Structure 1
Amino acid sequence: MKILDKYLLKTFLITFTTVFVILFFIFILQTVWLFIAELAGKDLDIALIIKFLLFSMPRIIPLVLPLSILLASIMTFGNLAENYEFAAMKSSGISLQRAMRSLTVFILLMSVVAFFFANNVIPFAEYKFINFRKNIAQVKPAMAITEGQFSDVGLYNIKVNKKSGENGNVLTGITIHKKSNIGDGSKTVIKAKDGILISSEESSILQLVLNNGNYYEDIVPKKYEDRNKLPFAKSSFKKYTINIDLSQLNKVDVDDENIANTNTMLTVNELKYTLDSLDKNFKNEIISFSENINLRTGIPQNNNNNIIVDAEKPVKKVNKKLPDNILSLYTNEQKSEILKMASSNVNSTGYSIDATKVNLANKQKNINNHLLAFYDKFVIAYACLMMFFIGAPLGAIIRKGGLGLPIIFAVLIFISFHFINTFGKRIAQENGMSPFMGAWMSSFILTPLAILLTYRATNDIGLINMDVILAPIQKLFQKLFPSKKK
């Protein structure tokens, strides 16, 4: 490796490392802000918070890495151009392509590393992150209950005046509102002087043992006139045990989250296998539904409209031409029954079709999400290379280093990339476009920009050729206001 390559690589690595650490720290703060409700006021110790953040860090890399490469490239080549180092290189016969050669190889290696990171580390971290949030209640069962306010814990709203004990599992001044199964508010209130939370890592049930309390329940009489009396039942207890499902301790529906985020926890090979199974199930369900609908109509598949069956001789087929109005063959009472039955069958079939459409749409969305997760692993690798070929020539053109103008360009480009990427994925999820186009849309749109900037930088053309804009305006003014000849 020549001295020039070492110098450029060293300069880029120092800038890249600095930018990466700063941006990573900013995005970590954003993660803390997003999950502040799960971390604040839950009596979590530092070790659990650090573990929580460690599992959430890998998901930040696809955002931080391309932006860091873009900003580092602009700053590095902007500093070189601003300090006339590129001018010295060109006077020595070294072109911009030659100067970018060593960094291009480095970015290619980084793209490969980014792919393997997205394919192996991120799925593992997503799996650990979701399961950590699901099982954290077993380590710290009192985390779901905050002092002095009602906390939503599964089927119960629980308020305690004070928590104590090593793990905050000793509760004092307990008020519990039990949610109604029919969704008409709380009909049951439980008050206790104290209690204790009991859990173990081997059990999936959390026990809340209450001591010295009362149990109140509103009773809804069957007779409407008795409801104005507002009857209720009251009982006292010395000890009362409530069993709570641990999966309800998170405010996030864990089962739904696992279904929605399964695609983020799979590698490329696992996604291929899963997609194959999902496609087969989707096609089989369409075929099965179409066959069931056909059977529900009662029309045989190989029917002949010119042949009807005589009722008195069911075995013998009689060739008769059907009349234009089939209902004319029946009495008025039979017509009414036939029309009612047909209307009922049409409505039932319509409801079945609507329900199946929703079910198939959800399954198609799940397939699209898996396809997007599959393409995303390749997009992040390509984005690293694309951002370098946008940032490096852009820095050489604007000839500005530091943290001023480069940050403005980098933020504008990256926001455009991120917005287009998010927009494409949203449309692809709803089957508005193919998942391939949704995942690669941002790359397809910004790749011409990378090619254009590289071409203009290597040919010493500015960012904007003002002559192209000013020349037509100047000609127009000359026609409108011709100069007077002396």
Structure 2
Amino acid sequence: MNKYINKLQIDLLKRHLNPFLFCFFTLMFILLLQFLILHIDNLIGKDIPLSIVAELIVTNLAYMVVLAAPMAVLVATLMAYGKFSELNELTALRSSGVNPMKIIRPVLTTSVFLFIGLAWFSNNILPEANQKARSLFIDIRIKKPGFDLKPNIFYDGIDGYTFLVERIDGESDSLFDITLFQQPMNNKDRAYIIAEKGLLVSRSEQALNLHLINGYSLKFTQPNRNSDDIIERNTFEKHVMTLDLSDLSFMRSNPEERNRSDRTMSSKAMLVVVDSLYKEIENQLEVLIKNNSVYPSEAYTGKQTFFSKDLALAENVANISSANSPYIMENISQKADLQRRLVSESLRHLREYKSTLESVNANIEWRKLRIAGYLVEVHKKLSIPFACVVFILFGAPVGIMTKRGNFGFAALISTVVLTFYWVALIQGEKLAERLIVSPFTGMWTFNIVLTIIGVYLIIHLSTGFSIKEIFENRD
């Protein structure tokens, strides 16, 4: 009997393999298409080397792996155990007195190893891949568009020049009715050039000659700072200009020289930042403690509220010799002038304290938001990989109970579950980053809910226990 169970356990593991690989690579393909659709505008028309585009795709595959693996586990589990139940193998095991948990245990153990490997990948490989991808995105974004003139459209893609061309012959690279504005930079004077025709001749990848034919130029020169511009007019039959295209070439930067965000850091690095932010909060609180010279106290002022007080009191006592003040210290003096100065000085200190208090509160709130953001990422590096284990606990009993092992039915159930899962994860992240819930609650709530449901269903399959029995026993 034990040999039969061991053989069945191995067979169930094999049944998981093909659906898992098929679903995993299908999801990777879908996520890759989504990535290309979102970023195709940043990659086309900039003459970016194909190797850079390939590297950008490869580095972005890392986050796709973390997302696709748990989803593939759920589909594979529903298919494998659905097929197992569809063939009435579970009925045979139950009749032999075998607990269904024995056929779930090896797959569950495998999911734990998958969780460990995926968590390591998410903590060590994914941040580095995200940093390289982020650096490449920045390099591509700051790269200027290629030298792409269009008829009747101003073009300022080359520093120091603005072009306006009425007609372009793409076959011969000829330009017609050219207007060129040259800006005063790089030891060149401001100039205005008009030509009937022009011809583009490439010198190298970083230089281009523009041959202008039949035109004139207006050059604005200034002999010294205090003198007016001198306009020099020249007529030409042919004039050659050299355009520097070096700024248009793609420049690769070092990813390590760029600052890292929460998604490009390991958990250890983020926890170090969180610790430093907590210390900064303590330092901000010490600012209030040290600022005790203006700390309002009912013992000194005789009032419970202080920030609503204004200068009206001082203005009202201007024309009398003395006044009764609601502030205890002022009643000591009988001179109105001294009372006015005491009121004015007290209100000044209170306003300074209010400004300090608001500044400290704003700084603390900002640091709390940053702490929440980092802790969300720390929990996310574990909660998403742990979904591999959760989906086994949930998917195995659901697959057994549905008794359908086809891909369509498994995909349908997976779509519903995963939709709720990702919506809960995204909303939990937003709520945690807004300090409405804790990072742990935001990232782990749905995992815990699915785990509880899965454990209950496994117990129900193993023992026949039902929640209805509890209520029936109470009655």
TM-score by length of 1: 0.66
Contact 2:274 2:374 in 1 (8 A): yes
Give yes or no for the alignment of 1:284 onto 2:283: yes
Deviation at 1:375, TM superposition (A): 1.7
Query: Radius of gyration: which is bigger?
Result: 2
Matching residue within 88, 94, 97 for 2:101: 97
Distance 1:129 1:195, change over 3 A: farther
- Cα root mean square deviation, aligned: 5.3
Of 376, 381, 395 in structure 1, the residue corresponding to residue 385 of structure 2 is: 381
1:298 to 1:121, Cα distance in 2 relative to 1, 3 A = closer
2:418 corresponds in structure 1 to 414
CA contact (8 A) 1:42 1:146 kept: no
Distance 1:150 1:402, change over 3 A: farther
Distance 1:392 1:446, change over 3 A: same
Distance 1:151 1:383, change over 3 A: farther
8 Å CA contact 1:372, 1:435 repeated in 2: yes
Which residue type is aligned with residue 443 of structure 2?
A
CA shift at 1:436, angstroms? 2.1
1:328-347 matches, within 5 Å, as: 329=333, 339=343, 342-343=346-347, 345-347=349-351
| 8 Å Cα contact 2:45/2:146 also seen in 1 | no
Q: 1:64 to 1:292 in 2, by over 3 A?
A: same
User: Cα distance 1:19–1:460, how it changes in 2: closer, same or farther (>3 A)?
Assistant: farther
Q: Which residue of 2 aligns with 1:390?
A: 394
Q: Secondary structure at the match of 1:44?
A: coil
Between the aligned partners of 2:246 and 2:348, the Cα distance in structure 1 is 46
Kept after mapping to 2: 8 A contact 1:389/1:451: yes
- Take 1:208 and 1:456, find their aligned partners in 2: how far apart are those partners? 77
Q: Does 1:429 align with 2:433?
A: yes
Task: Sort the Cα spacing of 1:23 and 1:233 in 2 relative to 1 into closer, same or farther, 3 A.
Answer: farther
Equivalent residue for 1:119, pick from 120, 123, 133: 123
Q: Partner of 2:45: helix, strand, or coil?
A: coil
Q: How much does 1:9 deviate?
A: 1.2
Q: How big is the shift at 1:49?
A: 1.8
- Alignment-mate amino acid for residue 103 of structure 1: V
| TM-fit CA distance, 1:133 | 2.0
Provide Cα deviations, 1:226-267, integer angstroms capped at 9, x if missing partner.
xxxxxx9999998899998999999xxx99xx76x6222222
Cα shift readout 1:33-54 (whole Å, capped 9, x = no counterpart): 2323322333334322221111
Do 2:330 and 2:342's aligned partners in 1 also have CA atoms closer than 8 Å? no
CA contact (8 A) 1:69 1:388 kept: yes
Question: Cα offset for 1:385?
Answer: 0.2
**2:261 paired residue number:** 262
Once the two structures are overlaid, the 10-residue window that deviates more, 94-103 or 4-13, is 94-103
Please tell me the residue identity of whatever aligns with 2:281. Answer: F
Deviation at 1:341, TM superposition (A): 5.3
2:446 maps to a residue whose letter is S
In 1, Cα distance between the equivalents of 2:75 and 2:295?
A: 67
CA distance in 1, matches of 2:248, 2:343: 51
Q: Is the 8 A contact 1:393 1:453 kept in 2?
A: yes
Give the match for residue 86 of structure 2. 82
Matched residue SS, 2:407:
coil
Once structures 1 and 2 are overlaid, which stretch shifts more, 83-92 or 35-44? 83-92
In the TM superposition, what is the alpha-carbon distance from 1:157 to its structure 2 partner? 12
- Tell me the equivalent position of 2:272: 273
User: Corresponding residue for 1:14?
Assistant: 18
Residue of structure 1 equivalent to 2:372 = 368
- Asked whether the equivalents of residues 209 and 242 of structure 1 are also in contact (C-alpha less than 8 Å), the reply is no
**Distance (Å, rounded) in 2 between the aligned partners of 1:360 and 1:152:** 45
Deviation at 1:142, TM superposition (A): 3.8
Q: 1:337 to 1:16 in 2, by over 3 A?
A: same
Instruction: Measure the CA separation in 2 of the matches of 1:151 and 1:430.
Output: 44
Paired with 2:125 and 2:269, the residues of 1 have a C-alpha distance of 14
Deviates more, 1:141-150 or 1:382-391: 141-150
Does the Cα contact within 8 Å between 1:150 and 1:157 map onto a contact in 2? Answer: no
Return the letter of the residue paired with 1:41: G
Alpha carbons of structure 1 residues 457 and 28: separation in structure 2 relative to 1, 3 Å: farther
Specify the alignment match of 1:5 in structure 2.
Answer: 9
Structure 2 equivalent of residue 404 of structure 1: 408
Q: Which amino acid aligns with 2:365?
A: A
SS at match of 1:404: helix
Instruction: Assess, with a 3 A threshold, how the Cα gap between structure 1 residues 121 and 41 changes in structure 2: closer, same or farther.
Output: same
- Distance apart, 1:18 and its partner CA: 0.4
Determine the structure 2 residue equivalent to 1:128.
132
The match for 1:443 is: 447
How far, CA to CA, are the matches of 2:262 and 2:26 in structure 1? Answer: 30
**Partners of 1:8 and 1:437 in 2: CA distance:** 34
| Structure 2 residue 42 is matched with structure 1 residue 38 | yes
Mean Cα deviation higher: 8-17 or 75-84: 75-84
Q: Which amino acid aligns with 1:20?
A: F
Residue in structure 2 matched with residue 49 of structure 1 by the alignment: 53
Measure the CA separation in 2 of the matches of 1:455 and 1:262.
Answer: 44
Say whether the 8 Å CA contact 2:397–2:458 is kept in structure 1. yes
- Distance in 2 between residues matched to 1:336 and 1:199, nearest whole Å: 77
Contact between 1:418 and 1:442, CA under 8 Å: does it hold in 2?
no
Partner secondary structure for residue 130 of structure 1: helix
Q: Distance in 1 between matches of 2:111 and 2:335?
A: 83
How far has the Cα of 1:80 moved from its partner? 1.9
Q: Which runs of 5+ in 2 are unaligned?
A: 171-177, 184-189, 221-228, 235-240, 303-325
1:155-208 C-alpha deviation (Å, 9 max, x unpaired) = 99988989x9xxxxxxx988899xxxxxxxxxx999999999x999xxxxxx99
